């Protein structure tokens, strides 16, 4: 049989790009179908209006939306479309996906994350399982990501440092804001081990990319120097240079067609003009970000797949997870410091880059039995002036305007710095968090949209609160004021995984340990969908590493 390409990849973000990179370098022909536009480095500016106040990097909700199910006061699941609520669940819709917009806080998982069940035991109401691979299987690929995508950092000794095959990062840590000295000092006094946060950001010119310019507008913005290790800059650009990789932007894949044997034969997509096109390939890889991946499989009905591709056991979309936790902040007010300290505090652009993993495992009687904990990252509040000013429009008695509004804005911008922390802990997989197809709501092409049930486990909040308390104690020690934190079961749309988890048993998983669908011989899934449990760190380093691992597997079969 003749194929258009060896490999067809759907999606072009962190899960997709290592496949394109490795297989095109190995001389295989690769096509990448991406629904969004193709922005180039020179298109990226620090324009808050474009980045963050209008739907440019994400679809307009009138055209494409989600339906989100939350529990009402009567304990019923009620679904409402994001168009109706304004709660946007899109991330990055462009070549390179959301990895263009990430902040690049990078942590590896730790060995115990691969065996959550055997290490910590069951928790009522949670579908916890061990992974079918171990940390040792993934370690070489974490190292590869450090070198190929570019991760900068510095290893320091701490109780939960995961094992490494190399001594330190290939790129020295990015430059740090002087406030890290105050964080380190407070942590020392408290007996905590503050560690430099690894970043997927180049601290020097390397890998044919420029060093970070410390632009002060990193998360939510595309990078104008290519220092950020986006899938586009780090992997797709070199893949294109091989001459073996073709990228088709504005290609919205709506169906993977399969034959009588159950194998995928073609990907069908709408092009920019709305015309239906198709591509055939030997192997198909899907990486549309977890919920859209499940949606595409569910839409891809075939004679062998009457309930959707790879869904004969009803597992597709199940056990969706997010990053649990929340965030908090404290004000470092200039009135408490002398002039030279204020000048230091006012420095813009340099990174805070401090994390705490002392409670990655919580072994504290006051908490209960030994449990999986998580990570705390410190950072300054986002520099975006419009959203910061708008956050001041709510006063004590409702909306505020006039002098009251102006005074709030002025004080918010000029009287101190707002040091934030973010908490990452496991979002336990449960039967109440999954993706299905909405029976009514359609996108602009007439296809059903993803309906997300967003239930969470109470245990997630307990862990999150424990960690937030620790983070608050650091801010307290630093002399911060107005300290608060908010831990909730509200999922962060940009940190999503699961839905097609891997495992040895086809009855309870969608993929085998190679991330190949149990009953579709030529279908691989390489975004975070494969993760049965999420670990207590943001996912992207693990997505990249696993995708490099699967690239080796696909390469060996082609």
Partner 1 sequence: MLDTNQKSAADKFILNKLDRRSFLIAAGVFTGSVSLGGLLSYLYRKYKIQPPYSGSESEIIRHFHDHLFPKTADSPSASEINSIDYLQFVLIDPEIDEDNKSLLINGVTWLEEECQNEFNKSFMNLSASDKNRILRIIEEANWGYRYISLNLNYILEALLSDPIYGGNPDEIGWQWLGHTPGIPRPTDSTKYNSK
Ligand X SMILES: Cc1cc2nc3c(=O)[nH]c(=O)nc-3n(C[C@H](O)[C@H](O)[C@H](O)COP(=O)(O)OP(=O)(O)OC[C@H]3O[C@@H](n4cnc5c(N)ncnc54)[C@H](O)[C@@H]3O)c2cc1C
Spatial neighbors of 40 by CB under 8 A, at least 6 apart, are none
Measured distance CA(301)–CA(311) in Å, rounded: 9
The single residue among 9, 19, 126, 252 that binds ligand X, judged by CB under 6 A, is 252
Residue 34 binding partner per list partner 1, ligand X, ligand SF4, none, with a CB distance cut-off of 5 to 8 Å that depends on partner kind: ligand X
- Contact between 12 and ligand X by CB under 6 A: the answer reads yes
CA 223, 224, 225, 228: dihedral to nearest 10 degrees? 0
Measured distance CA(138)–CA(110) in Å, rounded: 10
The single residue among 221, 322, 530, 548 that binds ligand SF4, judged by CB under 6 A, is 221
Q: Residue 337 is encoded by which pair of tokens?
A: 């410091």
| Selected range binding ligand SF4 among 8-16, 138-146, 213-221, 275-283, rule: CB under 6 A | 213-221
Quote the DSSP letter at residue 98: G
| Selected range binding ligand SF4 among 218-226, 243-251, 457-465, 505-513, rule: CB under 6 A | 218-226
- Contact between 281 and ligand SF4 by CB under 6 A: the answer reads no
Q: Which residues pair with 517 in a beta bridge?
A: 511
- Contact between 300 and ligand X by CB under 6 A: the answer reads no
- Contact between 152 and ligand X by CB under 6 A: the answer reads no
CB–CB of 149/544 below 8 Å? yes
Query: Within a 10 A sphere around the Cβ of 169, how many other Cβ atoms?
Result: 22
Q: Residue 384 is encoded by which pair of tokens?
A: 């975006």
If the CB atoms of residues 201 and 296 are measured against ligand SF4, the closer one turns out to be: 201
DSSP track, 180-203 = HHHHHHHHHHHT--EEEPPBSB-S
- Contact between 215 and ligand X by CB under 6 A: the answer reads no
- Contact between 308 and ligand X by CB under 6 A: the answer reads no
- Using CA atoms, how far residue 11 sits from 396, 486, 544, 549, in Å, is 45, 33, 14, 18
Sign of torsion, CA 408 411 412 418? Answer: negative
Residue 532 Cβ, how far from ligand X at the closest point, in Å? Answer: 16
The single residue among 218, 231, 487, 510 that binds ligand SF4, judged by CB under 6 A, is 218
Q: Residue 435 is encoded by which pair of tokens?
A: 């993706």
If the CB atoms of residues 9 and 207 are measured against ligand SF4, the closer one turns out to be: 207
If the CB atoms of residues 450 and 510 are measured against partner 1, the closer one turns out to be: 450
The single residue among 128, 201, 345, 441 that binds ligand SF4, judged by CB under 6 A, is 201
CA 457, 461, 466, 468: dihedral to nearest 10 degrees? 140
**Burial class (CB within 10 angstroms; exposed 0-12, middle 13-18, buried 19+) of 421:** buried
Measured distance CA(12)–CA(232) in Å, rounded: 8
Residue 190 Cβ, how far from ligand SF4 at the closest point, in Å? Answer: 29
Residue 207 Cβ, how far from ligand SF4 at the closest point, in Å? Answer: 13
> Can you list the positions of beta strands (E) in 390-480?
394-395, 398-399, 416-426, 433-442, 448-454
**Burial class (CB within 10 angstroms; exposed 0-12, middle 13-18, buried 19+) of 437:** middle
Measured distance CA(128)–CA(325) in Å, rounded: 18
Number of residues that bind ligand SF4 (CB under 6 A): 11
Residue 104 Cβ, how far from ligand SF4 at the closest point, in Å? Answer: 7
Residue 279 Cβ, how far from partner 1 at the closest point, in Å? Answer: 26
Residue 97 binding partner per list ligand X, ligand SF4, partner 1, none, with a CB distance cut-off of 5 to 8 Å that depends on partner kind: ligand X
The single residue among 6, 19, 20, 35 that binds ligand X, judged by CB under 6 A, is 35
- Contact between 227 and ligand SF4 by CB under 6 A: the answer reads yes
If the CB atoms of residues 81 and 476 are measured against ligand X, the closer one turns out to be: 81
The single residue among 12, 24, 152, 215 that binds ligand SF4, judged by CB under 6 A, is 215
- Contact between 15 and ligand X by CB under 6 A: the answer reads yes
Applying CB under 6 A, the residues found at the interface with ligand X are: 10-16, 33-36, 91-94, 97-99, 101-106, 219-220, 251-253, 287-289, 292, 296, 494-495, 527-528, 538-540, 543
Residues of this chain that bind ligand SF4 (CB under 6 A):
201, 212-215, 218, 221, 223, 225, 227-228
């Amino acid at each position: 049989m003749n194929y258009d390409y060896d490999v067809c990849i759907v999606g072009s973000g962190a899960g997709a790009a290592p496949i394109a990179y490795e297989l095109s370098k190995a001389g295989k022909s690769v096509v990448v179908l991406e629904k969004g536009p193709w922005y180039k480095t020179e298109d990226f500016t620090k324009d808050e209006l474009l980045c963050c106040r209008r739907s440019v990097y994400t679809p307009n909700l009138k055209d494409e939306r989600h339906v989100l199910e939350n529990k009402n006061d009567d304990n019923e699941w009620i679904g409402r479309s994001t168009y109706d609520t304004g709660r946007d669940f899109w991330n990055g819709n462009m070549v390179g996906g959301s990895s263009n917009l990430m902040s690049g806080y990078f942590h590896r998982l730790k060995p115990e994350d691969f065996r959550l069940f055997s290490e910590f035991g069951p928790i009522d109401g949670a579908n916890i399982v061990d992974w079918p691979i171990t940390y040792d299987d993934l370690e070489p690929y974490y190292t590869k990501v450090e070198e190929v995508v570019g991760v900068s950092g510095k290893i320091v000794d701490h109780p939960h440092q995961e094992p490494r095959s190399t001594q330190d990062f290939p790129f020295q840590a990015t430059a740090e804001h002087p406030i890290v000295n105050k964080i380190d000092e407070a942590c020392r006094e408290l007996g905590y081990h503050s560690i430099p946060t690894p970043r997927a950001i180049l601290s020097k010119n390397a890998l044919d990319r420029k060093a970070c310019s410390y632009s002060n507008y990193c998360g939510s913005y595309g990078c104008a120097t290519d220092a950020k290790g986006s899938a586009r800059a780090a992997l797709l650009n070199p893949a294109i240079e091989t001459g073996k990789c073709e990228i088709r932007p504005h290609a919205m894949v709506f169906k993977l067609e399969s034959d009588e044997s159950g194998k995928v034969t073609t990907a069908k997509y709408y092009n920019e003009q709305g015309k239906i096109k198709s591509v055939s390939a030997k192997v198909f890889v899907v990486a549309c970000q977890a919920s859209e991946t499940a949606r595409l499989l569910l839409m891809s009905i075939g004679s062998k797949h009457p309930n959707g591709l790879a869904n004969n056991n009803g597992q597709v979309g199940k056990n969706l997870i997010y990053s649990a936790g929340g965030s908090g902040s404290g004000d470092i007010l200039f009135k408490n410091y002398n002039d030279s300290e204020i000048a230091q505090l006012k420095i813009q652009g340099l990174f805070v880059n401090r994390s705490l993993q002392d409670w990655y495992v919580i072994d504290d009687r006051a908490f209960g039995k030994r449990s999986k904990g998580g990570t705390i990252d410190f950072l300054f509040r986002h520099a975006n002036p419009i959203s910061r000013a708008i956050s001041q429009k709510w006063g004590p008695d409702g909306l505020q305007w006039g002098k009251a509004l102006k005074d709030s804005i002025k004080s918010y911008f000029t009287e101190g710095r707002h040091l934030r922390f973010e908490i990452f802990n496991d979002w336990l997989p449960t039967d109440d968090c999954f993706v299905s197809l909405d029976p009514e709501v359609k996108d602009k092409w007439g296809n059903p949209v993803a309906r997300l049930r967003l239930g969470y486990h109470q245990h997630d909040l307990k862990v999150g609160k424990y960690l937030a308390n620790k983070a608050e104690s650091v801010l307290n020690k630093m002399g911060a004021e107005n300290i608060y934190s908010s831990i909730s079961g509200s999922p962060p749309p940009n940190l999503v995984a699961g839905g097609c988890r891997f495992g040895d048993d086809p009855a309870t998983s969608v993929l085998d340990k190679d991330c190949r669908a149990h009953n579709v011989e030529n279908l691989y899934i390489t975004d975070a969908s494969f993760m049965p449990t999420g670990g207590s760190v943001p996912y992207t380093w693990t997505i990249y590493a696993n995708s490099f691992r699967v690239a080796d597997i696909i390469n060996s079969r082609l």
